[in-house]
A and B are shown apart, each in its own frame.
Chain A
Amino acid sequence: MSLINRIFENNISKNIAATLGAFITTISLTVCITLLWPFGDVVEQIFAGATFFFVFWASLFYWAILAENGAWAWIRMLIILLPALAVITISFLLKSQTQ
């Protein structure tokens, strides 16, 4: 147990959360924004998603970096990632039902 804790809590884990974790979370958030953006047409939705991609990535990177340890960095990413994935799944399900 302590080995697993050590793996998750060290700096390498935090850096992976900040780069890879933040990247994956950014992708899911971008898809979310593109699906749900309420203003303008579909082209505006695409560009909103594309602009927010970089804002999300930078913000999530530093949110993970500023965490106490690796485990907290991953928790922070998952706090965003899981709801985003849920929203994407529901949106796609609703979309497929309406088509």
Chain B
Amino acid sequence: MEQHTHKRLYSAHAWVGIISGILLFIVTFSGIPALFDHEIEYWQYPGYSEQHRSEVKQQPFNLERTLQASKDLGFQHDNFFIQPANEINNHVILAHFEKGKEPDIRYLNASSYQQFNASPSELNHLLAHLHTDLHLPNPWGRYLVGLSGMAMLLAIIAGIFIHIKWRKEFVMLRPKRSWRLLLTDQHKLLGLWSLPFTFILAFTGTILGLLGLISPILALAAFNGDVEKATVAVLGPTAEVTGEYSPVYPLNKLSERLTIDLPDTSVEFIQVSGLNIIAQEDTNTVSAKEEKELVTDIGGIIKFSGYHNNKLSNLETVTYSLSTGERIHQGSFIGKGAFQRIFAAVTPLHYVLFGNTWLKVFYALSALAACGLILTGNMLWLHRRGHGAQHWLSKSTLGICGGLVVATSITFAASQISYAFKFSTESGLHHLSEEVVFWSSWGLMILAPYFIKDSFKLSHYFLRLTSLGLIFTLIADGLFNQRWIGITQGWVLNIQMGILFSALLFIYLDWKLPNSIKPKSK
């Protein structure tokens, strides 16, 4: 490679990294809890794990019983989603979303079909929403996340070309030389070892973030700008309301047909559109009120979506008519063209919707390595230009990036401590306390570098606070929910072990981080 090409690529790598670095850290770090969204959700509310303790024997998912239960609960909506129990949860979720209104979400025990209280904690949503939308209005936050993914992709591409001595750099770490060499070696080591995963995460993240932006462009080309037509072509038909009603086709028969229409697929979502509940004509008597009948608009549909157990491009859907049971659409990427399969693999690749939990752990470690990559990149840029800890970028990097790590750990602890106050779900106070703790602690940490001038000392404080927060989380979980490590099992134990491992990792980092920059060795 010519020297000027190398120089321009190097410069592009550095500037793209510096401009997007902090945002990229926020997206990457918050991606770790987002990766374990369902697992954290299950752990954060003891009510979910109690559904497993139900004395009623576990049974296969019963669609008709679910709808019967929803009818009894007064969950009356034309359009709604059902999420059956899965390998983590033993509950069924009924959800209805309407623009401008609070969503109506109900939780049923998957064995008894009895409603139970929803989680007062929304810790997982708080962190996952930061990863997907940065808590900004839709769709701008999503686009910003997509753009940060694109920046990561660009930095990776230039990074591959400028590191020509990569064989040597794979194993090179000189901890006893200068601070700058240590940073350089760490940056290259983290980058090289995590390269395949960071590349996959960046590419798939960019597509997920910017898909909304490019959809109109694609619709313009393929459907003369008709986005709805393009959506139907890709995702299948939507319900066409006619105003004429008929009895509902036996739903459990449809469920049985899934074994033929969606073989080897675990159904994750069921979308019901056009279903209605009508009362008998004589509505004055109590018995007539109870005898409500399920009917459907003759244009009503039911769509089952799930993940194929043995394929990477694993999104599978099948749509039936609610009135006749006729299969009206089958969406599968198996055996389709290469680009459809590539696109169908984007979400599974980004959120690890294939493989097992250990693969998720591996992804999480790679994301952690990417966080280290971003931090060492920013520090190198500052160090090479002779900027000290007082430079605004140095303070911002430490405050925003380090602060996010501390705020996440403190919020985990606050979420468990809030159970001591027994806030009801309806009051929303539990979630409010999580929000207040998260944003205020992050805000305080962002300001901290302006008061504590020694960045090494502050980094140690941050690492200690983070590990303390995680340890307090486990103690609070034991004290207020009687879930001490050792007596817990299943996913609760897995998450607790994850928290314990993270606490130990931050203690180790605190131990290894120097207290000041060593003078250059001769």
Contacts and interface: CB of A to CB of B under 8 A. Distances in A.
B150 A31 contact: no
Interface of A: 27, 30-31, 34-35, 39-51, 53-54, 57-58, 61-62, 65-66
Interface string B424-443: 00000000000000000000
Contact of A34 (B153, B221, B343): B221
B218 A30 contact: yes
Interface in B448-493: none
Contact of B221 (A31, A54, A58, A62): A31
B214 interface: yes
A31 B337 contact: no
Interface in B211-227: 211, 214, 217-223
B221 A49 contact: yes
Contacts of A65: 8-9, 12
A50 B211 contact: yes
B234 interface: yes
Contacts of B223: 42
Contacts, number: 85
B336 A30 contact: no
Contacts of A47: 337, 339-340, 342-343
A61 B154 contact: yes
Contact of B340 (A27, A31, A44, A61): A44
Interface residues of B, number: 31
A43 B157 contact: no
8 tightest CB-CB pairs across the interface, nearest first? A34-B221, A40-B337, A44-B337, A47-B339, A48-B339, A31-B221, A47-B343, A46-B218
Name B's interface SS. Answer: helix
B111 to A, nearest CB: 40
B291 to A, nearest CB: 45
A31 B222 CA distance: 8
Contact of A44 (B153, B157, B220, B336): B336
A54 B206 contact: yes
Nearest to B215: A50
A40 B222 CA distance: 13
Contacts of B233: 42-43, 46
A42 B229 CA distance: 11
A44 B339 contact: yes
B394 to A, nearest CB: 24
A45 B339 CA distance: 8
Given A50-B207, A53-B217, 7 more contacts: A45-B222, A46-B234, A47-B337, A48-B339, A50-B214, A62-B157, A66-B8
Contacts of A34: 218, 221-222
B306 to A, nearest CB: 20
Interface string B174-207: 0000000000000000000000000000010011
A61 B15 CA distance: 13
Nearest to A47: B339
B214 A30 contact: yes
A54 B337 contact: no
B297 to A, nearest CB: 28
A46 B5 CA distance: 35
B230 interface: yes
Nearest to A96: B224
21 contacts: A30-B217, A34-B221, A42-B233, A44-B337, A45-B221, A46-B221, A46-B230, A46-B234, A48-B339, A49-B222, A50-B207, A50-B218, A50-B343, A51-B339, A53-B214, A54-B153, A54-B210, A57-B150, A58-B153, A62-B12, A65-B12
